[in-house]
């Protein structure tokens, strides 16, 4: 193999081996995953919309559109791409954590920002819990392999995403786990968003507080939106 063909690959590998390369990968995959979180929430919030004149709920129409024959290939490709992003994000985060620990075995005693420090300290254990939740969430509501009996087995027309979501969240343990995971996601998003800019060198005494406040607002809104669904089901507001 020629040197011309090898050098670009070597440059990519050497770039990733450096801490900045791992930070760039985390930032890029983080942006993709943040975008998915927003899109997923907007789709789920359609459960609050009233039915159309024909009695069909918008969230069921949305789900049918995603799983239509013309979109199955795109949906599968998007899921694979997201899975790759999750894997790369986790790998880069673990490698950066190990590099940081090897470089400084003893942590700093002084913490300038208590909330930021707490969020950063929870990143390494909140990430795996969120990943475990995502797996359970997919098995629960997407595959229907775990959890309460799917609505289709109760005589409800399938696919009825709205009925499945409502029936699933009527289980207090599942709703509590979901809310707990969304609180962890809130802290994960908060720290990940503003530290992403800091890791890429976008840091300034004037702008960093604004980035932190914006990240906090964004993360809290995402958590409120996600938690509102199981809370509304448990309270009987969505039937």
Distance CA 211, CA 190 (A): 10
Q: Read off the pLDDT of each residue in 37-61 and give the average, rounded to a whole number.
A: 90
CATH 1.20.1300 fits 19-234, yes or no: yes
When pLDDT is cut at 50, 70 and 90, the band that residue 157 belongs to is: very low
Residue 123: predicted pLDDT: 64
When pLDDT is cut at 50, 70 and 90, the band that residue 105 belongs to is: low
CB 139 within 8 A of CB 146: yes
Distance CA 145, CA 131 (A): 17
Q: Count CB atoms within 10 A of the CB of residue 31.
A: 14
Burial class (CB in 10 A: 0-12, 13-18, 19+), 66: middle
Q: What is the pLDDT of residues 159-188, one digit of tens each?
A: 578 888 898 899 899 999 999 999 988 888
CB 192 within 8 A of CB 123: yes
Q: What is the pLDDT of residues 10-24, one digit of tens each?
A: 777 777 777 788 888
Residue 199: predicted pLDDT: 67
CB 113 within 8 A of CB 190: no
Distance CA 175, CA 131 (A): 17
List b or e across 88-108, with b for residues whose CB sees 16 or more CB atoms inside 10 angstroms.
bbeebbebbeeeeeeeeeeee
Q: Read off the pLDDT of each residue in 184-206 and give the average, rounded to a whole number.
A: 78
Residue 156: predicted pLDDT: 45
Burial class (CB in 10 A: 0-12, 13-18, 19+), 19: middle
């Amino acid at each position: 193999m020629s040197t011309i063909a090898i050098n670009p690959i070597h440059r990519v590998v050497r770039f990733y081996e450096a801490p900045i390369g791992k930070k760039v990968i985390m930032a890029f995959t983080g942006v993709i995953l943040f975008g998915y979180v927003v899109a997923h929430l907007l789709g789920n919030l359609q459960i609050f919309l009233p039915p159309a004149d024909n009695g069909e709920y918008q969230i069921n129409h949305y789900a049918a559109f995603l799983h239509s024959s013309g979109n199955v290939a795109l949906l599968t490709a998007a899921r694979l791409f997201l899975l790759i992003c999750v894997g790369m994000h986790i790998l880069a985060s673990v490698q950066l954590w190990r590099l940081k620990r090897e470089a400084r075995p003893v942590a700093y005693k002084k913490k300038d920002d208590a909330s930021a420090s707490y969020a950063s300290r929870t990143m390494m254990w909140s990430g795996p819990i969120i990943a475990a939740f995502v797996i359970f969430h997919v098995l629960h509501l997407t595959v229907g392999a775990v959890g309460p009996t799917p609505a289709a087995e109760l005589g409800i027309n399938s696919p009825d995403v709205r009925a499945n979501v409502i029936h699933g969240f009527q289980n207090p343990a599942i709703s509590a786990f979901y809310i707990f995971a969304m609180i962890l996601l809130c802290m994960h998003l908060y720290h990940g968003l503003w530290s992403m800019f800091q890791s890429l060198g976008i840091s300034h005494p004037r702008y960093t507080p604004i980035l932190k406040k914006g990240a906090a607002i964004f993360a809290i809104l995402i958590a409120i939106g996600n938690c509102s669904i199981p809370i509304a089901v448990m309270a009987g507001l969505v039937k």
